[in-house]
Amino acid sequence: MIVIRKACSKDFQALIKIMKESTTDKEVIGFVPPEGISPTFLKELAEELDHSDPNVLMAEKDGVPVGFAYYSFQKNFVEIQETDVIREYQGQGIGKALVQHIEQVTKEKRMHCLVTGASINKNGEPWKAYGFWLQMGFIDTGERIQGEYDLKYVKLVKQIPKA
């Protein structure tokens, strides 16, 4: 059984473990900064977890943390910053459950648009999550944003119907 709950500061190390175990060393070649997980991102995530109502969800399967999602509220949309699931649990509906939970939160806040992104490496290959986002109903806007480390970011959008 998959349980989705709000994460808290005591979950920080579990979130790092999930990020590290969501990919193989081979998969991340050309997609991650030289230092691995961005220290700036880790600081931002830790600060978010310190809020009384953080926008970080933890997915547990049989009581074991196996995935998480981090999102933020913007003026007119909700942005999914990060979604990770431990490799051995991928393909079991955990990422889908996390995104559906964010969709529900979006509806409750009377917002109607979700935004996320996927990286494209210098060879033009998209990160493996790109296909997942398309399966979840997100649309590639065609917008490509130049990022650090020779990466480009694909902007993906999903309209949420009014309740």
CA distances from 81 to 48, 72, 111, 148, 162 (A): 12, 7, 17, 16, 23
Q: How many domains does the chain have?
A: 1
Q: Read off the tokens for 45.
A: 């995530």
Structural domain range at position 79: 2-159
Q: Which residues of 146-156 are buried (b: 16+ CB within 10 A; e: fewer)?
A: eeeeebbbbbb
CA distance 157 to 163: 18
CATH number at residue 28: 3.40.630.30
* Cβ contacts of 22 within 8 Å, gap of 6 or more: 84, 85, 86, 87, 90
Mean pLDDT of the 75-81 span: 95
Whole-number pLDDT of residue 45 = 93
Per residue in 92-120, pLDDT tens? Answer: 999 999 999 999 999 999 999 999 999 99
Per residue in 116-156, pLDDT tens? Answer: 999 998 888 999 999 999 999 999 999 998 887 788 999 99
